[in-house]
Structure 1
C-alpha cells in the first residue's frame, strides 16, 4: 500500500504540473481548473488514498462499479461525478451517491433524475453532454446530444425539481469533423457554453479533456478536466 500511495502521489504531482503549465500558457489562474480523477476499474482502496492525497472530485462511468465503491467511501469528503451513459433503470442508484451527472442527453433521463432527486430530497447537478460527432440534432456514438438540442434540454433541466443545471460536457469525438481535432472540439464546446450562459448564467461548468488532451481543454477554457490513466495507471485490458 505504501508503494501504491507513493505512485499515486507522484502521478498526481505530474498531472498537477501539466495543469499548472497549461493554465500559465493560457494566462488563466490555476484555481480556474478543477481536476476530477476518473477511478473506474480501480478499487475503493485507491479512492481512499486519493482522498488522503487531497483529491476531492472522483468520477465513475458504470453504476455497478460505482455504487459499492461510493458506499465504501461514504465517510470521505468526496464529490462523485457520474460520467457514463446512464440508463433510466440505474437512476435510483446513481442519485444515491452522485453529486453531479455529467451525461444528461435526453428528456426521459431528466424526468427520471428529477423524480428520484425529489423523492430522496437531494439536489443533483447536471451537465448536458454535447456530442460533436452527431450533427446538429443527432446523438453521438458515445452518448450526448447534438448542439441543436442543448437549449431545449437545458431548459428542461433548469425547470426540473431537484436538479441544478451546471453546464456542459463533451468527449473528444472519434468521428466527424472534429475527429483528431481536440482543440477545435473544445473551442466549439466553449462557444456553446457562452450561448448557454446567456440564458442560464450559473451554468458555467465546462467539463472537457482527459489524460491525453487536458492541455487543449485548458487552453480552450475548460473548468474541469477528467483524468484517469495519468493518475491511476493504464487499466488492465486497455493496453
Structure 2
C-alpha cells in the first residue's frame, strides 16, 4: 500500500469509528437494543475508498447515479458488498440497476415499479438460460416526500437550493404499496425519506415511523425505515430508523464534480 493509500485508510478508519460511536451512543440514548444498519454513501468517491471501508468491515454502500454505481460494482465484484440505490431513478435505467443493486430506496411512481419488475424478470430469465442461480426478487422501499406537510416555506427553501427530491406524499403510499405487492419480482421492505430543508428532522422521522407502522400492518415484510444522514442521524435513530445513509461524515467533503 502506498503512503497515500495508507494515509487515506487511516483517515477513513478514524472517520468511520466516530460515526459508529455516534450511532452507538444514539442507540443507547434511545433505549434500543439493536443499532441501525450503516449504509455508507460512496457517491463521488473512488472504488479504492469502498475497498478500504470493506476491509474495515463495511458491506453496505449507497449510490445515486447508475453509471457510477455500475462501474464500482464491476470493479469490486470480488468483494462481498451490498449496493443500495438511493437516488432518483429514471425508468429506463432500471434494467441496469437490477444487475447490481440489493435494494432500491427511491421507488416513487407506478412506471418505475413496472420498469423494475420487468427488468428483474429479464435478469432471472437470462440467469436461467445461462444455468446460473438467480434471486427471486428485488427489495424496494417507497420514498416519501413530507415537504408539503411541513410547510410551503420549506418547499421554497428546497427550490431555491436547487434540491430535487422525489417521493410520494403520505396519502399515496398505500396505492403504490399495492402496485409493488402485485409485481412478480419486487418485495416491499419499507419506507425512505429525506427531511425537507428547514424542517425539524425528528418530527419528519416520527411521521415516517407512523406511516411505516401503518404500512406493516398490511405488509409484514415492510419493516425497514431508511432515514438519517450525517447531520441528523441522532434524530433518525431516536425515531426508530433501521438504516442510516451516511456519506460526508465517513468519507469527508465531496470531491469537486468535473
Could you say which residue in structure 1 is the equivalent of 2:171?
148
CA deviation after TM superposition for structure 1 residue 237, in Å: 3.9
1: CA distance between counterparts of 2:221 and 2:104?
Answer: 16
Please give the per-residue CA displacement for 1:67-90, whole angstroms capped at 9, x wherever unaligned.
111111111111100000000111
Could you say which residue in structure 1 is the equivalent of 2:38?
35
Could you tell me the TM-score, scaled by structure 1's length? 0.93
CA deviation after TM superposition for structure 1 residue 132, in Å: 0.4
Give the conservation status (yes or no) of the 8 Å contact 2:23–2:35. no
| Aligned 1:68-217 pairs, distance under 5 A | 68-121=71-124, 122=135, 123-135=137-149, 141-174=164-197, 179-217=198-236
- In structure 2, the residue corresponding to 1:2 is in which secondary structure? helix
- In structure 1, the residue corresponding to 2:189 is in which secondary structure? strand
Q: Which has the higher contact order (CA 8 A, sep 6+)?
A: 2
- In structure 2, the residue corresponding to 1:93 is in which secondary structure? helix
- In structure 2, the residue corresponding to 1:75 is in which secondary structure? coil
Question: Which of these residues, 3, 25, 30, is aligned with residue 7 of structure 2?
Answer: 3
Structure 2, unmatched stretches of 5+, are 125-134, 159-163
The alignment yields a C-alpha RMSD, in angstroms, of: 1.6
- In structure 1, the residue corresponding to 2:57 is in which secondary structure? coil
Give the conservation status (yes or no) of the 8 Å contact 2:45–2:255. no
- In structure 2, the residue corresponding to 1:99 is in which secondary structure? strand
- In structure 1, the residue corresponding to 2:31 is in which secondary structure? coil
Structure 1 residue ranges (4+ consecutive) displaced by more than 3 angstroms after TM superposition: none
1: CA distance between counterparts of 2:35 and 2:20?
Answer: 13
Could you tell me the TM-score, scaled by structure 2's length? 0.86
Max radius of gyration: which structure? 2
CA deviation after TM superposition for structure 1 residue 135, in Å: 4.9
